[in-house]
Amino acid sequence: MVKVIRWVCRRCNKKWIYPIEKCIYCMGPIEKEIGTKTRIVGLSKVNVPNPYHPIVPYNVLLLEDEHGSRMPKKTVKDYKVGDIYEDKPSASEHAVSIIKIKYDIYEAVKESLELIGDVNIKGSTKILIKPTIIGKAYPYQAINTNPKMLDALIKVLLDKGAKPENIVVGEQNLFSPMEAALPRSKLGDICKENKVKFADLEKGGFVEKEADDFKLKISKEVFDKDLIINVPVMKTHMLLGISGALENMTHVVSKEDFDELKDEPMKALQAMVSLQKVLPKYLTVADATIGMQGNNPMHGEPGFYNMILASKDPVALDKVFQEMNLLRRADYVETAGKLGIGEADIEKIDVVGNELRAVQKDVKQPIGSKLFKLKKDG
């Protein structure tokens, strides 16, 4: 399944590759047309690298769908003109989907879920969406989850049968008051527009859990839901190497515990890995619409990745993000893999949607990144 999306005026028989509200010729209604049956009608091989496409050789395919619409597709694999091109869903629990956004975040989110086996949602399903809100920042700064990403995800869930009253968007701001950060993030506005509840996890109460050598107070909201969807902003990180799926879930720990650990980096990293053992299983739909590169978590610059990543395995997702951006190894991800929390061996991760090598590129590394190596006794 590859989606070729066009916005069509049936009256004028005109098509656009980007969304418009009305036909510019007749002012008539516009219909979204999605093609899913594609064949290769042209191809070329590229042997000269550039900063956006450093891995060579690669192929650029020209795909045509059942409606006659065409789109390019980059691939490292070889094909022939006339071949059918399709992306098949993976049955692996460690699968990671990489979807490039083509003007339509809703369709990208929907496709990212379909390729990892989708989610089973009923009207009674209680859902917690856990975005990133860590600073008083506007959406274009990419510090917090993109409101367009949250809006698309909520709409996908509603279309799958979820009820607005059963969806909670919950986050805890560990660095500044939520009252100041939420309005700037625009995520509160998205919740209101979709009639779902926003919960400040700091005010909702906590449950103490033992995680290896740690006693951690964790938000009650996490244990009160049928489905948890983690929506981190994908970033490079000065201390961790990357900030993604695993790091974002540390925000469900009480501010008291977080503050106690933050001045001891090694202990904090060990706690982050141990935390995963006591959390319920969760799905990650990662926000790499803009994302960040350089000296993050809050002082880098937008990465403009233009992608959605999704996985049932947070370790695998973080590993794929590291590899796709040619980043240095984040040792806490490797440790999480060794402890059985998820899959950190890139050779054992089933990447679907876009090929990993086809989306690899250099981004700005965090300067002086300290990648801590965690050691387990014995």
pLDDT digits (tens, 9 = 90+) for 246-289: 999 999 999 999 888 877 878 888 999 999 999 999 999 999 99
Q: Give me the percent of the chain exceeding a pLDDT of 90.
A: 83
Model pLDDT, residue 369:
47
pLDDT higher than threshold 50 for residue 80: yes
336 is written with which tokens? 């999480």
CATH code, domain carrying 239: 3.40.50.11440
* pLDDT, tens digit, 9 for 90 and up, residues 212-228: 989 999 999 999 999 99
Residue 103 lies in a domain: yes
- The verdict on 73 and 205 lying in the same domain is no
pLDDT higher than threshold 80 for residue 30: yes
Model pLDDT, residue 321:
96
Q: State the average pLDDT for the chain.
A: 93
- The verdict on 109 and 78 lying in the same domain is no
Residue 113 lies in a domain: yes
Q: Which helix (H) or strand (E) holds 40?
A: strand 38-46
Residue 373 lies in a domain: no
- The verdict on 122 and 35 lying in the same domain is no
Model pLDDT, residue 224:
93
Closest CA to 97 of 3, 203, 33, 160: 3
- The verdict on 304 and 178 lying in the same domain is yes
Which residues fall within 8 angstroms of residue 17, CB to CB, at 6 or more apart?
A: 5, 6, 7, 71, 102, 103
- The verdict on 155 and 298 lying in the same domain is yes
- The verdict on 61 and 133 lying in the same domain is no
Residue 365 lies in a domain: no
Specify the range with the lowest mean pLDDT, choosing from 59-73, 143-157, 364-378: 364-378
Which residues fall within 8 angstroms of residue 203, CB to CB, at 6 or more apart?
A: none
pLDDT higher than threshold 50 for residue 120: yes
Residue 194 lies in a domain: yes
Distances, alpha carbon 17 to alpha carbons 5, 8, 62, 103, 288, in Å: 7, 9, 15, 8, 21
- The verdict on 156 and 295 lying in the same domain is yes
172 is written with which tokens? 């805890």
**Ordered alpha helix ranges (H), 42-140:** 105-114
* pLDDT, tens digit, 9 for 90 and up, residues 163-190: 999 999 999 998 889 999 999 999 999 9
pLDDT higher than threshold 70 for residue 375: no
Q: How many domains does the chain have?
A: 2
Q: Between residues 114 and 374, which one has the greater pLDDT?
A: 114
pLDDT higher than threshold 50 for residue 300: yes
Specify the range with the lowest mean pLDDT, choosing from 36-45, 276-285, 324-333: 324-333
pTM, entire model:
0.93
Inter-axis angle of helices 187-194 and 147-159, nearest 10: 20
| Domain ranges, residue 57 | 4-85
Residue 369 lies in a domain: no
Q: Which of 85, 105, 133 is the last residue of a domain?
A: 85
- The verdict on 242 and 139 lying in the same domain is yes
Reduced to 3 states (helix: H, G, I; strand: E, B; else coil), residue 190 is helix
pLDDT higher than threshold 60 for residue 127: yes
Closest CA to 145 of 190, 200, 204: 190
- The verdict on 71 and 140 lying in the same domain is no
What pLDDT band is residue 368 in, cutting at 50, 70 and 90?
Answer: low
Residue 368 lies in a domain: no
- The verdict on 43 and 101 lying in the same domain is no
**Ordered alpha helix ranges (H), 102-174:** 105-114, 147-159
- The verdict on 173 and 31 lying in the same domain is no
140 is written with which tokens? 């274009």
Residue 372 lies in a domain: no
pLDDT higher than threshold 50 for residue 43: yes
- The verdict on 299 and 162 lying in the same domain is yes
